[in-house]
Amino acid sequence: MARLLCLLLLGGQLAVVAPAAEEPQPVALYESGLATLDIGRRQVPLGYSVSVFGPVFTLRSIVVQLGGELKLGPLYQSHELILGDTQFLFGPGSSAVTVGTEIYPLTQAPIPAEDGLKVPLDLLETIYGEKMGYEFQWDPAGRTLKVRRQPQRQVPVTIDLVHLQGITTVVLQFPYQPRYRIHRAANLIEVELIGDRLNPEMVKALPTDPLVRDVKLGQQEIRLVLAKDVEAEDYILQDPFRLVFDVYRKTPATSAPTLDPTPPTRSSGVRTIVIDPGHGGSDTGAIGLSGTQEKDLTLTLARALRARLMERMPVRVVLTRNEDAELPLETRTALANQQKADLFISLHLNSVQSPTANGAETYFSSLEASDEYAAQAAETENLVAAAGDDGDALYDLQLILWDLAQSQYLAQSQQFAKLVQDELNDALGLNNRGVKQAPFRVLIGASMPAVLVECGFLSNPEEEQALLDPAYRSQLINALVRAVMRYRAAVMGPRALADEALP
Ligand SMILES: [Zn+2]
């Protein structure tokens, strides 16, 4: 966004603070002590404090009583609670909780204390409400936190089944997210509601299907009876809440596996790639001297890259946006997570004060910027996008998200970033600006190797003209395609690639 960019430029010395350096603001506590945790027949002591935002409770004591596995994340700041198949991430200084790939705000940030982290009521409700069916009630006069079962609900459900190109998709649609568990057995998937009952009025006849033999609706469970030798993948769609199962035939085992003692390092390889054209809508991104807008150029590049990647290799390529639309940064990575992408590429164009700066830069994400310049680049992209809606409440969260989602892909992100940078330097004879690390919000939270490519400088009039030339863009795209090919070869190994080439 031009306005913010100017602000940053005019600011000149605008402080760039890595989020890791931000200390959580101490919160004044009005009282602290021991309350009672009342779980029906059991009453146990529970540490509590009261801040201006309301009461907070010692999480560890509640986890002991209600279940779950609590652990400290790889970074000291983050806490992780695993309950069934759901991961909850939160930490002091962050007034938000991440549930899977979803982010929910909290009334206040958890507070570190001697007896462990103290957390607000709405975090407890998020953790133990949806999944376990518990509700919490705080009685300040009696200093008692009551835990009760939520009353049973009648949950309406709509079931749809579609078969398309060898895949049967079963969609269970609910007006809100029910509490449920998924059980899997041979040829059977059961979705069991926790505490609630299904509304039986919504049953309708489903078409006969080659992969899903039957869908049975019980009072509290939905059973998918599958054909032999099929696999099913489940995922969630929101608004309205849908639990989706993609059912497909298992690929037949390749011949003579006994002759090859080394198993493939990664079975999935690089099959789905998400390309993220930076900015969009009222967020124009950088603007060149002759008026080129970053958001338009990134979309042009992304579409061309998508087409060429699919020409060259058997991959599925998804764009985070395929029109001039505004899209929050968190949504972009959430989308990549939802698509189960194996690679995430965010495309941008650079802009700085000096009109002579030129070249491409490839970033992978980290909490610490590799140098002051990288920190400023990240700040510019983050600032521009934070002008949208949610901004600050979620900003703290990048620490935690990064901690958990991206850290395990750090080495692969770095490897891919280096390949991209090498290819861009070779193809375009660009000034080597190298691979850098910076806390880009768009990369944080991606559960896959992820890079951000600044394809050139719009603030450099010569480079702006070059980027407007289709032949130059084509070279740029080819360089990116080669980087992906080299990365795929490295990840999948030559044998897997050769198998793939067979009809
Ligand atoms: Zn940008």
pLDDT in tens, 11-69: 222 222 233 334 445 677 888 999 999 998 899 999 999 998 899 999 999 999 999 99
Average pLDDT over residues 125-140: 88
Strands laid side by side in the 230-237 sheet: 158-164, 167-174, 241-249, 230-237
pLDDT (0 to 100) of residue 328: 80
- How many A from CA of 271 to the centre of ligand 1? 26
- How many A from CA of 410 to the centre of ligand 1? 22
From CA 180, how far away is CA 130, in angstroms rounded?
8
Residue 3's region, left for phi above 0, alpha for psi from -120 to 50, else beta, is: alpha
Q: Two tokens at 247?
A: 């059912």
Identify the band that residue 431 occupies on the pLDDT scale cut at 50, 70 and 90: low
Identify the band that residue 211 occupies on the pLDDT scale cut at 50, 70 and 90: very high
The candidate with the shortest Cα–Cα distance to 14, out of 23, 22, 5, is: 5
pLDDT tens digit string along 478-500?
999 999 999 988 887 766 666 66
The candidate with the shortest Cα–Cα distance to 284, out of 298, 294, 297, is: 294
Q: Look up tokens 């409400």; give the residue.
A: 129
- How many A from CA of 307 to the centre of ligand 1? 22
Identify the band that residue 405 occupies on the pLDDT scale cut at 50, 70 and 90: low
What is the DSSP secondary-structure string of 460-473?
SHHHHHHHTSHHHH
From CA 95, how far away is CA 488, in angstroms rounded?
39
pLDDT (0 to 100) of residue 394: 43
Q: Domain 154-249: give its CATH architecture.
A: Sandwich (2.60)
- Is the torsion defined by CA of 364, 366, 371, 373 positive or negative? positive
Q: Name the more confident of 498 and 285.
A: 285
- How many A from CA of 350 to the centre of ligand 1? 6
Q: Does residue 70 have a pLDDT over 60?
A: yes
Domain locations along the chain: 29-149, 154-249, 267-500
For domain 29-149, the question of CATH label 3.30.457.10 is answered with yes
pLDDT (0 to 100) of residue 74: 52
Q: Of 118-122, 386-390, 400-404, which has the strongest mean pLDDT?
A: 118-122
The partner residues of 171 in beta bridges, in order of sequence, read 160, 244
- How many A from CA of 407 to the centre of ligand 1? 23
Q: Does residue 167 have a pLDDT over 90?
A: no
Q: Look up tokens 């929050």; give the residue.
A: 328
Question: Domain 267-500: which CATH class?
Answer: alpha beta
CA neighbours closer than 13 Å in the CB half-sphere of residue 101:
21
pLDDT (0 to 100) of residue 477: 95
| Residues within 5 Å of ion ligand 1, judged at the Cβ atom | 278, 285, 348, 381
- How many A from CA of 349 to the centre of ligand 1? 5
- On the question of a common fold for 154-249 and 267-500, the answer reads no
- How many A from CA of 109 to the centre of ligand 1? 30
Average pLDDT over residues 404-429: 82
The candidate with the shortest Cα–Cα distance to 24, out of 51, 64, 47, 2, is: 51
- Asked if 27 contacts 51 with a C-beta cutoff of 8 angstroms, the reply is yes
pLDDT (0 to 100) of residue 489: 84
DSSP H or E stretch at residue 455: strand 450-457
- How many A from CA of 431 to the centre of ligand 1? 19
